[in-house]
Structure 1
Amino acid sequence: MAGRIRYDFMYRVGAPWETSAPRPELAELLAGGEISRPGRALDLGCGDGTQTVFLARQGFETTGVDFSPVALAKAREAAGRAGVEVDLVRADFTADRVDGVRGPYDLIVDYGSLDDAPPARRKVTAAHVAEWTRPGGLVLMWCFYNDIPWWRWERMRYPGRLRPGEERELYEEAFTIRRLAAPAAGSGSACFVLRRRA
């Protein structure tokens, strides 16, 4: 509840990660043909809906899920402005049961959602992602990773990040995993492409 209130506030005043442009990794994988279309796509932690709307404009049947009603209202407005239909679901994807999200999906995008989940709930979230991804389907996951160079609090690690190897612990059983060249190692963030095994 406290987390949702915090996110509601940030979306009201303008969250620092909000952008009107699609994320470059997603756009490049689409342009290069690694992500095939059309298909069904899920935007995990969709926020203001920028990636949700972008995928819908690329021909995907797209669902965005977020627990912030403020974020979902912004996503709904963005979809209306773009003239696309998207399914927006208010839910906590770290919960044991997530009503309204129905796989399988050909593509799942996760920009900073898994790393923001409480560490004790990440296995549950990863299990949902594996369940929702069709065999051969793709997950694009961007996360804060390892030490964050701009985080300077002594004796306190940045809380919302994956530790090295955690992506394998969470996903290797169901996915092949490849780290993209950018963001570079040592930058404090990483982007992974996960392909669902048959």
Structure 2
Amino acid sequence: MSGEEFWDARYGQSDRIWSGNPNVALVREASELTPGRALDLGCGEGADAIWLARRGWHVTAVDISQVALDRAAHEAAQAGVADRIDWQRHDLAVSFPDGAFDLVSAQYLHAPYDMPRDMILRAAAAAVAPGGVLLVVGHAGRPHWEHDHHPDVHLPTPDEVLKALDLPDGQWEVLLSEEFEREQTSPDGRPGTRTDNTLKVRRLGG
């Protein structure tokens, strides 16, 4: 099964997979940024892209699943921000959107199959305009209800993400590198917490 087939099947399981709310780390870290051009990698059903568009950003939103993109475009139209979002289908292991961006956001860019995440994130860094920000948020561990469901998927620390980016010396500054806890409800409705991590870096200049 290809990545596109996997995610189309996943999104096809129900009318909504995710909560419909923007990711907590994005809201926290992007609220004070001046709106410009944003790139949302792995946009899913579009909650982050719609939140950014509502705040004045012009967003290029990318996902491998056309099912997800169609659903996201419908939600953006309902929210009245369709004209601020360019939805693009990319398998990021094969192709990457053109342009330079003031914010590149990669939220939970994980997959239960072999995906060249480090290569994708290096391409993401290359797409950041001078003075712009790269925000990478990922899981730091598995939730309490999941027991080795995808044992081969490595969940890197912020330091590991930074090292893998291989950013040129003197051209970037690290604004934030941390782990944090957030609330997450299990599939059977039980409340719980999950540890995630955030890396936020700015390209100097601009």
Unaligned runs of 5+ in 1: none
CA–CA distance in structure 2, aligned partners of residues 52 and 60 of structure 1? 9
> Which string of whole-angstrom CA distances, capped at 9 and with x for unpartnered residues, describes residues 92-136 of structure 1?
1122x42xx2221001111111x4386662332122112210122
2:76 aligned residue: 79
1:19 aligns with 2:19: yes
1:16–1:191 distance in 2 versus 1, CA, 3 Å: farther
Identity %: 26
Does the 8 Å CA contact 1:148/1:158 hold for their aligned counterparts?
no
Please say if 1:45 is aligned against 2:42.
yes
Question: What are the Cα deviations for residues 27-49 of structure 1, in whole angstroms up to 9, with x where unaligned?
Answer: 22344x2x222x00011001111
**Could you list the per-position Cα deviations for residues 10-68 of structure 1 after superposition, in whole angstroms to 9, with x for gaps in the alignment?**
2122498612222222222344x2x222x000110011111111111110011101110
Equivalent residue, structure 1, for 2:52: 55
From 187, 199, 203, the counterpart of 1:196: 203
Distance 1:15 1:172 in 2: 39
**Offset of residue 190 of structure 1:** 1.0
- Corresponding residue pairs, total: 188
Q: What is the RMSD of the two structures over their aligned residues, measured on CA atoms? A: 2.8
Distance in 2, Cα, partners of 1:15 & 1:192 = 31
In structure 1, distance between residues paired with 2:100 and 2:11: 29
- Equivalent residues of 2:173, 2:203 under 8 A apart: yes
Is structure 2 residue 142 aligned with structure 1 residue 135?
no
Q: CA deviation at 1:187?
A: 4.8
Aligned with 2:98 (options 93, 96, 102): 102
Residues 136 and 183 of structure 1: is their aligned pair in 2 closer, same or farther, counting only changes over 3 Å? farther
TM-score by length of 1: 0.81
Separation in 1 of the partners of 2:139 and 2:37? Answer: 26
Amino acid at match of 1:94: A
Unaligned runs of 5+ in 2: 183-192
Using structure 2 for the length normalisation, give the TM-score: 0.78
Amino acid at match of 1:167: V
CA deviation after TM superposition for structure 1 residue 180, in Å:
3.9
Instruction: Point out the structure with the larger strand share.
Output: 2
The answer to whether 1:157 aligns with 2:147 is no
What are the superposed Cα offsets for residues 126-148 of structure 1, whole Å, 9 maximum, x if unpaired?
A: 22112210122112211122x43
Residues 130/29 of structure 1: CA separation in 2 closer, same or farther (3 Å cut): closer
What is aligned with 2:181?
A: 183
